[in-house]
Amino acid sequence: MPGFFPAVLVNAGVTLLLTGASAAADEASDRQRLAGDYFVGASVFLFERTVLAAFAPPGADDATLDAGAIVLAREKADSESGSVALQAILAWLEAWLSLEKKTPGSEAPPGFDPARRHALACLAYGADPEVSGGLADHVALGGAEREACIARYLEARKVWSGWLGSYRKSPGAPAPIRAAPEGAPAEDEPALHLAFAPTIDEADQAVADAVRENGLFQVLTDDFNTNLAMPRPVTALLTQCGEARAFYNPDRGEAVLCYEMLGALVKAAP
């Protein structure tokens, strides 16, 4: 379902990737759509995955955190606002495959290798075989592997359900009551906060400004606060890091998405 998600997300990709291109030519228009899907979907995936690390025990590996993003996105897919993440992630995986065919050998962002893409497509198929059947065909999942993907997703859902269970908010119900450290926000205040740090790099600042102005990460932050009580005050921090990364810093309670990583996503989807 590439290209099918709310306009606020499409506009974020458009602002960064589509400026100056001619929409008159079908091929150029298709490439623009794929590039927008790639940037937006990858950004959504990294944001969700990095914030979810706050709920995982220390030492949770990368594959487990990746699976958490798919599990949470699938769980929220039945609501209009909650379907944003799943639609964006599926569109990204499809765009990733398509763009690779159009520009074979192009450089991928750090950590975005074919093996990781295959594992994510497997989980997406396991989460909803009917919706992701085309994606499974695209990455050539065989019959036996598709069965294994379903089992892999169910196991990931079991693990993450255990980690997230006590933090879930029921519609209209107060947040779960927990002992809060001194100085922490009140239980009824959103515990995930979004922050954009300044940067001296003009290209990074352009990416930061476009994403902030289009509300991409604010939508995701609000969605987290609607559905989950964070285990501690957490800041989703977009900042300059010196390298392309996305990581959780447990010492500071920061889910960090580096401007360099966003820039790498832009370059990977020319």
Q: How many angstroms separate the CA atoms of 3 and 92, rounded?
A: 9
> How much is the pLDDT for 13?
46
Same domain membership, residue 127 and residue 62: yes
Residue 108 lies in a domain: yes
> How much is the pLDDT for 268?
84
Same domain membership, residue 142 and residue 225: no
Same domain membership, residue 241 and residue 138: no
- CB-based contacts of 101: which residues, under 8 Å, 6+ apart? none
> How much is the pLDDT for 172?
52
- Tell which of 152, 167, 182 closes a domain: 167
Same domain membership, residue 161 and residue 237: no
- Residue recorded with tokens 């790639």: 38
Residue 185 lies in a domain: no
* Sheet-wide strand order for 192-196: 192-196, 234-239, 254-258, 246-249
Same domain membership, residue 201 and residue 154: no
Structural domains in the chain (count): 2
Same domain membership, residue 108 and residue 144: yes
Residue 173 lies in a domain: no
Residue 92 lies in a domain: yes
- Give a three-class secondary structure readout of 208-229: HHHHHHHCHHHHHHHHHHHHEC
Strand partners, 249: 254
Same domain membership, residue 29 and residue 160: yes
List the pLDDT tens digit at each of the 270 positions of the chain: 333 334 444 444 444 443 443 444 566 677 788 888 999 999 999 999 999 999 999 999 999 999 999 999 998 877 655 567 888 999 999 998 887 777 777 777 888 888 999 999 999 999 999 989 999 998 999 999 999 999 999 999 999 999 999 999 875 545 444 444 443 445 555 489 999 999 888 888 888 898 899 898 998 999 899 889 999 999 999 999 999 999 999 999 999 999 999 999 988 875
Closest CA to 150 of 137, 132, 138, 163: 132
Q: Are 73 and 118 in contact (CB under 8 A)?
A: no
Same domain membership, residue 118 and residue 204: no
Q: Are 268 and 17 in contact (CB under 8 A)?
A: no
> How much is the pLDDT for 208?
87
Same domain membership, residue 197 and residue 153: no
Same domain membership, residue 152 and residue 79: yes
Same domain membership, residue 140 and residue 53: yes
Tokens representing residue 231 in the block: 């285990």
- Going from the C-alpha of 148 to that of each of 67, 123, 129, 263, the distances in angstroms are 14, 10, 12, 35
Q: How many angstroms separate the CA atoms of 60 and 56, rounded?
A: 6
**Which domain covers residue 76, as residue numbers?**
7-167
Residue 172 lies in a domain: no
Same domain membership, residue 201 and residue 159: no
